[in-house]
Each structure stands twice: as C-alpha cells, then as structure tokens.
Structure 1
Amino acid sequence: MKSLRLETEQANLGYHDLPGSGLPLVFIHGLGGASSCDYPTVAADPALTGRRMLLVDLLGSGFSDRPTDFGYTIDLHARTIVQLVGHLGFQSIDLFGHSMGGAVAIAAARLLGNRVQHLVLSEPNLAPGGGIFSRGIAETPEADYVARGHDDLVRKFAGVEDGTWAASLAVSAPYAVHRGASSLVAGSSPTWGEQLYALPMPRTLIFGSRTLPHPDAEGLPRDGVNIEIVPDAGHSMPWDNPVGLASAIGRAIA
C-alpha cells in the first residue's frame, strides 16, 4: 500500500498502485466502501490485467487517514484525487467511480479536463437527494449517527449477502460516512448529471441487471453517454459479478 501526504488536509491518502502499461486506470469506491477491498478481484480479471491501476481509498475509508476536521464532501474528495494524479505526474488517465465514487469521479473529471481519456461510472449519484442508504444516514444528526447509528448500520448489514460492505463500513470513520451521505443528499449545482453531460471525453454508465429498469439507463444515451449492463448483478457489482464488471470496464476504456 502506498500513500500520498495531502498537505492541505494534513492526512495520508492510501492507494494500491498495481504495475502495468497503458493509461493508468483509477478506481474510486462508494460510500462506506474502500477500493483496496472492493476492486482487487476486478483488477485481477483478464479483461483488465496488464494495465496500471490505482485502487484509491478515499479519506475516512480503508487504509487512508480519517481527519476529524475534513468536510468529506464530494468536491473535497475530488480534489484529493486531482492531487494524487498531479503527484504521480499522470498526463492522461482513465477514471472509474462507483455510486458516491461516481459523483466524485465526475467532479474530478471536471477539474482534470482533457487529462481524463475515458470516464466510467457504475450506478453513480447524478442528482441531489442521495440513495436509500445515504438518505437514512443523513436524516440522523451527525452526533447521533457517530454515537449509535453507525454501529447499528454495521450490525444491520453484517448478515446481508457476504457482509463485505458491512466490514468496510465498520472500519470507515462514522463522521466521514455521515458527511459523505449528507453531501450526496445536498447535491451540487450544476448537478453531477449536468456536469456529466457537459464533459467532452467518452463516458460510460454501467448498471447491474437487477437494478433495471433505471431512468438513467433510458435517458442518458440521448446525451451521448454509453450504457453497459452487468448481468446477474445489483448495485454491489464488484461482489455480485466481478468478472462482468471487469468486462464492462474493459469495453468502456478499449
């Protein structure tokens, strides 16, 4: 595991740097997740092996630091991704983001401009209001969520499917999760969807077949955004069908 010292934030941003050739592919995880946990199996799939890949743990998650005075908003997370790209000297990258990480990837792509060659998003947050989990978290005052709500949520999902998301959530900073959820609910102006439409690079949205029908999957092709479907998968694509997700990403960045 490597780390970048973020001087403004006075915190270390952790990431796996998997060696390879071609454009670096940067992975950004969703709320309560960690790329170091979510994407090794995806990165190891033949559809992607041989590429250089960075599995980034956002601040507050995984192997990264958990500063108490950081805002954990989408835009602040995006700025840490931009700092990492600059630190590593990348002139061109491909960028992938899932769920909340999709919104972070959109905001980062807007800042990075033509350095992003392909933007690939799996079921991202495109509009204010958040999803069912982020809304529930944000509705609870931060102090109450930190004191009780976070542990309650971990216990609730510990027995769901393989419990992997609950395990990642358990080691995430509660205040980071709450502030991230609140940022998703508050949204952005322009919205992340409007920012996505305005970006110039090839853009692909990936959906799990179990989440369809989805209004974004129907409307976005009219705005020049490609659509990929991962079979036998819901929102948790890295766990439901990592082979299918790797193949979809591979096609999107080919």
Structure 2
Amino acid sequence: METWPFDEKSNLLRWLDCHPGASPLVYIHGLGCASSSDYLPVVTSPHYSGTRSWLVDLPGSGFSDKPVTARYDSGSLSTMLQTWITSTGVSSISLFGHSAGAFIALKMATVMSPQPERLILCTPGVNDYGIALLESITAMSESEFIATGFNQLVMQLKNEGGNDVWLGPFQVSSPLAIYQWAESTLDDNQKNWLEILSRLPIAKGVILPDNASPDDIERYTRAGCLVELVPNCGHMLAYDNPDGLAASISRMMYHL
C-alpha cells in the first residue's frame, strides 16, 4: 500500500494505486466502509476499463491510522484529501464518492483548483434506513457512543443479519470517526446538495440501482448528470454486483 502522513504526528493515510496511468480516479468510500476492501473486486473485474484507480481508506477507516486527536467530519476529511492529492503531484484527477462519501467528493469538486475532470457519485446521500441509523448514533453523546454505543451497534447489526460484508470494515473503524462523520453526514444530507451538484460546471455522473424510482433518476438528469443503472443490487453496489458497478464506472469514464 501507498502511505502519506496526514498530521504532525505522522499518522498515515493508506491507499492502493491500481492500474498504470496519468490521471487517477480517486475512490471515496462511505461511512463505516473502506475503499481497499470495497472496491478491489470492482477495479480487478474483467468489466473494468483499467483506469488508474486510487482506493483510499479515509483516516479512521480501513487500514489508515485512527488518531483520537483527528477531526472526522466531512469538511475536515475533504480538506485533508485535497492536501494529499496535491502532495502526489498528479496534474488531474477524477472523483468517485459512494453514499456519505459522495458528500466529501462533492465538497472537494466545488473547491479544488484545478477542478476534477469528472465527478461520479454512487447512491449519493443516505436513505431512510441510513438516516435512522445515523440518528441512533447521534442520539448519544460522543463519549457515550465511544464507551458503549459502538460495540452495542456492532452487535445490533450482527443480529439484524444481512450486514456481514459491511461489518468487516465497520467493526475496525474508529468509533470517534463513525460518530463525527455521522453527525456531519446528517447535516450534509439536510442541505441543498443537489443544487450544488447542478451548478457544478464539470462532467458529472450518478450510479444507482436499477430499482431506483423515476423521480430519483429525473432529479439527477435535471442536475446535468449522466445516470447509469446497475442491476441486482441495493444501496451497497460494490458488494452486491461488483462486475455491474465496474461496467458502469467504465462507461462513465469513457462518455463523460
């Protein structure tokens, strides 16, 4: 894995650099996830175009370090990622953001100079289940969630069933990171982020499950986005149909 120190104590951001090329597509995972595990089956799929791909685990997640002194809200994570990308010396990038990670990718795309070549959002935002889950986290104090709430939530998700793949990266996430990112995700979700997306003057795409409602599809096309639908999946496209997601990303990288 590649590494980069993201604070003065040399805590490390870790990422995978997959496929050769000049301009990488940077994968920003959702809350409780990790790009190094979520998207490796996608970028190694025979349906993937071979675009240079950076699978980055955000601080507090996956293989990256998890200092208790860091800030894990979406704004702080966005700023840190911009500094990291600048440090690599690449001249251009594209951004991919899933779920809560879509808010981070959107924040980056609006302020980076030069702007990304493309912005691809995958099931952006949080659905009703996600909102209820995040609200159950933030109903506690930060200290309470860290002390007992996180472990209780992991057990709850195990008992619910259907979360086996997600629980892999979730249970090794920093409870502090989960809490602070949950707070900022709820705030981001309430803002008019779709209007911000519509005003963004770059190539844009949104990837959704093929059971997305016509209203959902239309609101993204009105925002100037190319929309791709992936069959046989739910909110977690990379888990449910990595080959289908690989094909959709590849088409977007070609057409956008």
TM-score by length of 2: 0.90
Query: Structure 1 stretch 104-113 or stretch 164-173: which is displaced more?
Result: 104-113
Match runs of 1:231-250 below 5 Å: 231-250=231-250
Q: 3-state DSSP class of the match of 1:21?
A: coil
- The aligned counterpart of 2:45 is 45
Task: Work out the number of aligned pairs and report it.
Answer: 251
Partner of 2:11: 11
In the alignment, the residues of structure 2 paired with residue 174 and residue 252 of structure 1 have an alpha-carbon distance, to the nearest angstrom, of 35
Residue type at the aligned position of 2:203: P
1:156 Cα deviation from its structure 2 partner: 2.3
2:158 and 2:164 in contact (8 A); partners too: yes
Shift in Å at residue 13 of structure 1?
Answer: 0.9
The 1-side partners of 2:67 and 2:216 are apart by: 34
AA at the equivalent of 1:244: G
- What is the rounded CA distance, in whole Å, between the counterparts of 2:79 and 2:12 in structure 1? 14
Aligned to 1:174: 175
Deviation, structure 1 residue 225: 1.4
Matched, 1:164 2:165: yes
- Asked if the contact 2:19–2:51 (Cα under 8 Å) also holds between the matched residues in 1, the reply is yes
Look up the match of 1:32.
Answer: 32
- Paired position in structure 1 for 2:70: 70
Structure 1: how far apart are the matches of 2:228 and 2:171?
A: 31
TM-score by length of 1: 0.91
Deviates more, 1:227-236 or 1:1-10: 1-10
- Are the structure 2 counterparts of residues 9 and 187 from structure 1 closer, same or farther at C-alpha, using a change threshold of 3 Å? farther
Q: CA deviation at 1:199?
A: 1.2
Partners in 1 of 2:45 and 2:149 — Cα distance? Answer: 36
Partner AA of 1:166 in structure 2: L
Counting aligned pairs with the same residue, the percent is 33
Deviates more, 1:158-167 or 1:220-229: 158-167
| Equivalent-residue separation in structure 1 for 2:96 and 2:221 (angstroms) | 18
Q: Comparing both structures, which one devotes a greater share of its residues to strand?
A: 1
Q: Distance between the aligned counterparts of 2:214 and 2:73, measured in 1?
A: 26
Greater alpha carbon shift after TM alignment, 57-66 vs 44-53: 44-53
CA contact (8 A) 2:22 2:90 kept: no
Partner of 1:213: 213
3-state SS in 1 of match to 2:239: helix
- Per the TM alignment, residue 149 of structure 1 is displaced from its structure 2 partner at its CA by 1.7
Once residues 35 and 168 of structure 1 are traced to their aligned partners in structure 2, the CA distance between those partners, rounded to angstroms, is 9
Residue ranges of structure 1 left out of the alignment (5+ in a row) = none
1:200 CA displacement = 1.1
Say if 1:196 and 1:158 are closer, same or farther in 2 by CA, change over 3 A: same
What is the rounded CA distance, in whole Å, between the counterparts of 1:244 and 1:146 in structure 2? 37
Distance 2:158 2:244 in 1: 25
Deviates more, 1:29-38 or 1:81-90: 81-90
Counterpart secondary structure, 1:36: helix
CA distance in 2 between partners of 1:134 and 1:77 (Å):
18
Q: Are the equivalent residues in 2 in contact too, given 1:12–1:65 (CA < 8 A)?
A: yes
Partners of 1:165 and 1:139 in 2: how far apart? Answer: 22
Distance across 1 between alignment mates of 2:193 and 2:10: 28
Alignment of 1:85-104 (within 5 A): 85-104=85-104
